[in-house]
Structure 1
Amino acid sequence: MFPFLLLILLSLSWRISASAQPAEEFLRCLSLRFHNSSSITKLVYTHHNSSYSSVLKSSAQNFRFTTPSTPTPLAIVTPFNASYIQATVYCCRKHELQVNVEKATAWVESGATVGELYYEIARKTRTLAFLARIGHTVGIGGQLSEGGYGVLLRKYGIASDNIIDARLIDAYERILDKKLMGEDLFWVIRGGVSKTLEQNATKLVHQWQSIAHKFPKEIHSSISIAMVNFSEDGKMTIQAESILYRALSIIGLPLETLLNRTQKSALSQTFFKAKSDYVKQPISELGFKGLWPKFYEDEAKSSVTVLVACGGKMDEIPETEYPYPHRAGNLYSILYVVNWEEEENKNSKKFMNWMRRVYSYMTPYVSKSPREAYVP
């Protein structure tokens, strides 16, 4: 198996929010920290640059983000290496590829595309390959963080199986390799993964619950469990999806939309029942396996169960400091939701009973004396 290295730098294009300091001050700061101040004109694009718009749109995969009403960054930085990223992080808060034929390894920055990696390898050798996908425009960062399926998977596994080291830069300008970031975070960056029961989702959930609360504070991690179609004949299975973070955006709408008290969310347009729990000790694989049959029941087809990691700052605040008492000692919280449409409301009791069955089953595995819950 050919081992490969992933050099994870935060992005090909660093985009500085328009709410940051003025462009002039930002550029002045960079000029003091860049090794070669003359390179600023090649690396930094502001609204004054004629090529600003083309650089901004060059990596846009979703054209909703290129509408005139979409806020644009004060500056775009296209760093060549880690030192430029460190300087950028400091002042606001191009990818290179290095192929080593002798060691059969490659360093690749996350801003590169699969095609660019293929090209660089092909320039050096015709006897080595990397097991990524056929689509060459996919970014390496996304490809590897989602596992990375390719035509060589039966021979060498998926792309993330072949990552033997990584470097990332955190919000404190620290460059962390596999050793410094630790095995838990190294596991995370190789896959905010989605698995079904047939793909051993039970092990994913079981492993996640033991490490997620230890992740760096900057990482939000959760697992969403729901029913999905498994085959063309409509067979259903359970999917557990590990999510590192979620972002909610309102695109193309005026700022005043935030003042609209009557605008309803997708969930608020349905009938639903929700309950919650807190988990202080890891649940065994056997415990999860006993839960799964509940999701195959008819009432569960429109349900979702979300596990949200605790830890971090929450562990540092005493439970008596503020009214919210769910602090140190909680590994993660669980939110159970089942919803139904208006035409099914006359049968709402069956959905309520399903929720009660799930809640009753979870009793031995969650917090006790008292059983904790949170009602937002």
Structure 2
Amino acid sequence: MDNFPSCPSILVLLLLFFPLSWADSHDTFIKCLSDQSNQLSSIVYTPTNPSYTKILQFYVRNRRFNRTTTPKPSLIVTPLTETHVSATVVCAKSAGIHLKIRSGGHDYDGISYVSDDPFIILDMFNLRSITIDAKTQTGWVQAGSTLGELYYKLATISKTLGFPAGVCPTVGVGGHLSGGGYGNMLRKYGLSVDHVIDARIVDVNGRIMDRTAMGEDLFWAIRGGGGASFGVVLAYKIRLVPVPEVVSVFRIEKTVAQNATDIVHKWQLVADKIDNDLFIRVLIQPVTINKKRTIRATFISLFLGDSDRLVKLMGNDFPELGLKKEDCMEMTWIESVLYWANFDNGTSIYALLDRNSNVNFLKRKSDYVQNPISKEGLEWI
């Protein structure tokens, strides 16, 4: 679709329910859920449960939202099945409760676990099943999975199949794909959502629907419009992409004294024109070298090919960086995933399964530059 779909029926799916009496709503919700599930004790956590705090805090990525004054959910529901999700949505609607949906990734603003209104959290972290069909080059990934778990699963199946998504293994699939999903194969394969071919969701009435049942307008909306805005995404069916047996990476640092300003400026001019097999990210950071403050630009790359071709390509299109073959490392695609996640060379792929995050306080925001920043602008920055 080229235009935003006109679908008022979709907009009413927003899972925001406001109770008249919180105590009554709470009791109504519990009774409703117990009527629909015999596993209530294993999926519902109240503040008096010994595991409540651990579950709440495990996926809090910004400790600004983990203070004693931060509003807390009265309940956390951790579904084990799709029907648990459906029942939670139905009961939240019936009780008039504000429902927050969390897939366990990189929510730095507390959107999925903080509210000024009384609320409960529907935490999807148990729904993390991943199935891959190498023959059809497709897979189903549940929303509670992480990118690291998806990459690990791919590594156990094939050395030449990958998926274009983010570089942080602890990012949650549910939030990443529902928000678009970009990573270091962006120039070759586009966004993650460009490779979503089906999905399963729970709508506001508790119905479990696939792409055919939900219709193309809703399917369009959940691929970039935010999964929790239009229902609860249970799983995505993805189309995998081919990756070569050998890829190449490099990391080159340049300070202002090493002509970083001119090199970054030139990078802007070639970044969208260079071979689509090559992705280069630039980090510009203040650093202290020999007790003097300066600015350092770090160029980090993924190239879907061998280092000989990479060096030749860079020599032709971006010679200012001065790339040499000894700057490059050849490896498998899954090894490049670990490299980009800042793991040491030789780290086992099991590291991709680690959901722990050591981040305490962090705010991240990405943006796109429509026009190259001038040298004067870079110097000002």
TM-score > 0.5, shorter chain as reference: no
Structure 2-normalised TM-score?
A: 0.42
- State the TM-score, normalizing by the size of structure 1: 0.43
